[in-house]
Each structure stands twice: as C-alpha cells, then as structure tokens.
C-alpha cells in the first residue's frame, strides 16, 4: 500500500484548552520509503522530527509552526497568518467549530487579531531541506488534517459519560476515514496509543460496526484490518518510533499552543497580571484559573467553555 497515515494527539490531559488530533498522510514510492516514514527519525531527522514533548515546550512551538507552514506551502495551501494556516488544515469548517460558541465570548477561542508567525528564516530553511530529503527517500506528503475538540465539546462528552480517551479515539477514526477517502484506496495508518486500551473493538465510534479482523492486541501495539479502509494500528510511543507520527505531533503541538494562547490573551485583556498558562496540571495554570475566576464571573464566561470537567469516579 502506498498511502501511509500517521495520527497523534496533543492536549489530552490538560485542564484548559482544546484537544488537538492531527493526521499526516504520505504517498510512499516504495518499501524503502515506507520504512523511512514509519521508522525512527534517526540521526538524519531527529533534530527536527519526533515527539513534540521532547523537541518543543509551551510558548516555544516555532518548530511545529515551521513544519505546518512548509507542509502547507508544499500542498498548495499557503496562508498569510496563523489563523489562515489552521483553517487550511482543519477537518471541520469554521462554522461547525463555532456552532456552540457563546457569541459574547467567541473571541476566547477565535480572537486572532494579534497573531503573527514566529519561525525565523533559518528554521524554515532547515525544515524545507528536511522535507526535500524525505522526498528523495520516497516519502511525499499528500495531506495534513487537524481535528479540534474544544473544552465545551469535551464537557458535552462528559455529560454523555464519554471519557476523553473515547473522544480522542473517535477523532482519530474520523481522520483515518477522511484520509482513506482522499487516497481513493486502502491505507495503512499508525496512531498513537489511546489511553490504556489494548482492545479497541468495542470502543470504536466512526469505525464501529464495520467488519474488521484483529491482527494483534497488546500493550505495545493493537492492529486491525478493515476491508475498504485498510490497516489501522495503535502504537505505544508512536511519536518516538514513527517519523510521520512525530511530524503530526509537532504540527498538533503548534495548533494546541496557538489555541491556548488565545484563551490566555482573552483573559489578560482585563487582567494583565494573569500568568501565561499552558493549561496543563501545573501551578501556573492553577493560579491562572483561580486568579481569573472573579473577572470570568463578572464577564459571564460560561464555565463549560473554560475549564474541562472529568468523568465522576466509577463505583464506590
């Protein structure tokens, strides 16, 4: 099979901001190209491809931005702004993403007036060079798509007793099916492992009900064959062991940081002393939540659009 699809998530565990799931599809010229795409980045690419957690930090996602911009250029989706770049890759339309937004506070997630690109010319040149080297090795990027699930959508899932893991899995499935439709032939997909699942069969959403064969199920890898779709694997630490998954992770990290920065900027408009919070479980985010509580209440910012809720403990 010539089309390989790599899928990874960013922002599954935070308290604030969206869950981002990214898919990168490559058309591989031959088996050697496929081994590069679904192999470890190694010394040739390891400096700029791999697990985003090891290569970039919150507030410093220029590398992910560079990959997003270079890939958009190569795919003919040039964008002059971060917002335009996100829109070029978004699986869902702007209208669909904003359908449940409170109009008075839509800017919390969608205010983009102050945004600008940050990756410098030197970094852009290095990433372009990496992409050319990948193409020479038989890996041609054919598609990039991003699924965004906002805090409100995650909270609506909680109301339906759905965990974040299920929401993540179902977003991955949507991206795999979209990649299959674009390819026009069966694909091979590698997705980052979702939660602690070893068996996915009864957890599938968009892929649920489809005939499939279990190829393997275990801690390291769970793999399934879907007639009319292709082979779909969920791989532990895939962003470290599969070059294309690492690329998806970096692009997704940039999108996640872009969206979280919007949340922070919106609330700093009325309180400049608020810290630049990552949204994760850390003291800075805790202070951001606590310190913004009064102004959020006065402005009427809905709690369900701000902070994620968790499923209640089972049993007991």
Is 3-261 CATH 3.30.420? yes
Q: What angle do CA 46, 247, 98 make, to 5 degrees?
A: 150
In tens, the pLDDT along 109-167 reads 999 998 999 999 999 999 999 999 999 999 999 999 999 999 999 999 999 999 999 99
- Output the pLDDT for position 86: 98
Cα gap 218→198, rounded to integer Å: 5
Q: What's the rounded mean pLDDT across residues 91-100?
A: 96
Give the rounded percent of residues in the chain with a pLDDT score beyond 90.
87
Cα gap 34→30, rounded to integer Å: 6
Is residue 95 scored above 80 in pLDDT? yes
- Output the pLDDT for position 1: 53
- 62 phi/psi in degrees, rounded to 5: -60, -35
Q: How far is CA 300 from CA 101, 203, 311, in A?
A: 13, 37, 25
pTM of the model: 0.94
Is residue 302 scored above 80 in pLDDT? yes
Give the rounded percent of residues in the chain with a pLDDT score beyond 70.
95
- Output the pLDDT for position 59: 56
- 306 phi/psi in degrees, rounded to 5: -110, -60
Query: Which alpha helices (DSSP H) does 117-269 contain, by range?
Result: 121-136, 151-159, 164-183, 238-241, 243-268
Sort 298 into a burial class: Cβ within 10 Å, 0-12 / 13-18 / 19+. exposed
* Under 8 Å between Cβ of 13 and 167: no
In tens, the pLDDT along 20-74 reads 999 999 999 899 999 999 999 877 776 778 655 655 555 568 999 999 999 999 9
Confidence of residue 315 (pLDDT cuts 50, 70, 90): low
Strand-strand pairing, 213-216 and 221-226: antiparallel
> Where exactly are the structural domains of the chain?
3-261
Confidence of residue 316 (pLDDT cuts 50, 70, 90): very low
């Amino acid at each position: 099979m010539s089309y390989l699809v790599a899928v990874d998530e960013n922002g599954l565990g935070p308290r604030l901001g969206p869950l981002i799931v990214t898919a990168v599809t490559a058309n591989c010229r031959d088996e050697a190209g496929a081994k590069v795409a679904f192999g470890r980045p190694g010394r040739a690419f390891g400096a700029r491809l791999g697990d985003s957690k090891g290569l970039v930090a919150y507030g410093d996602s220029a590398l992910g931005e560079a990959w997003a911009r270079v890939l958009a250029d190569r795919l003919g989706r040039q964008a002059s702004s971060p917002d335009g770049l996100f829109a070029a890759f978004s699986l869902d339309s702007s209208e669909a993403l904003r359908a449940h937004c409170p109009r008075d506070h839509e800017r919390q997630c969608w205010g983009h007036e102050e945004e600008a690109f940050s990756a410098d010319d030197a970094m852009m040149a290095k990433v372009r060079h990496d992409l050319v080297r990948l193409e020479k090795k038989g890996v041609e990027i054919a598609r990039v798509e991003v699924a965004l699930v906002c805090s409100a959508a995650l909270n609506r899932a909680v109301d339906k007793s759905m965990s974040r893991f299920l929401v993540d899995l179902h977003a991955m499935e949507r991206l795999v099916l979209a990649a299959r439709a674009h390819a026009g032939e069966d694909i091979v997909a590698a997705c980052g492992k979702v939660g602690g699942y070893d068996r996915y069969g009864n957890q599938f959403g968009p892929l649920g009900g489809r005939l499939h064969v279990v190829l393997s199920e275990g801690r390291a890898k769970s793999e399934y064959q879907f007639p009319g779709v292709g082979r779909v694997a969920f791989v532990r630490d895939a962003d470290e062991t599969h070059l294309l998954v690492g690329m998806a992770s970096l692009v997704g990290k940039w999108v996640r940081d872009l969206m979280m920065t919007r949340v922070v900027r919106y609330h700093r408009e009325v309180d400049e002393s608020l810290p630049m919070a990552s949204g994760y479980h850390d003291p800075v985010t805790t202070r951001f939540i606590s310190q913004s509580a009064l102004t959020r209440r006065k402005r009427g910012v809905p709690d369900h659009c701000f902070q994620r809720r968790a499923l209640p403990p089972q049993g007991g």
